[in-house]
Amino acid sequence: MWADQAAIRAGIAKSAGGRMRLRAPPTDDLLLYAIAACVLQRRKLIIEKYSSMEEIMRECNSMAGRLDVWKLLDDAHDLVVNLHDKI
């Protein structure tokens, strides 16, 4: 993600197999997008299983060490691409 930001600021586009990847606008809110992506990955479980804020916070804290970091960063990148202009 940080590399994406640097490449965008420098005007360098990445290509994978001849097609251009959607470029995320530069943002300093990476942590916010990563947290949102993390919660989105677990939203169904959180909605169905937990009823209090304390239980939700406990689940979020227990996610540490169990997350697929690359998937999380891809999801955060997608959030930036899709939501950056709307926020």
Q: How do residues 27-80 score in pLDDT, each as one tens digit?
A: 667 777 788 888 888 888 888 898 998 998 888 788 777 778 788 888 888 887
Dist. CA 12–CA 84, nearest whole Å? 20
Which residues lie below 8 Å from residue 84, measured CB to CB, with a gap of 6+? Answer: 24, 25, 27
Query: pTM (2 decimals)?
Result: 0.49
Q: Which amino acid is it at 27?
A: T
Which residues lie below 8 Å from residue 25, measured CB to CB, with a gap of 6+? Answer: 8, 80, 81, 84, 85
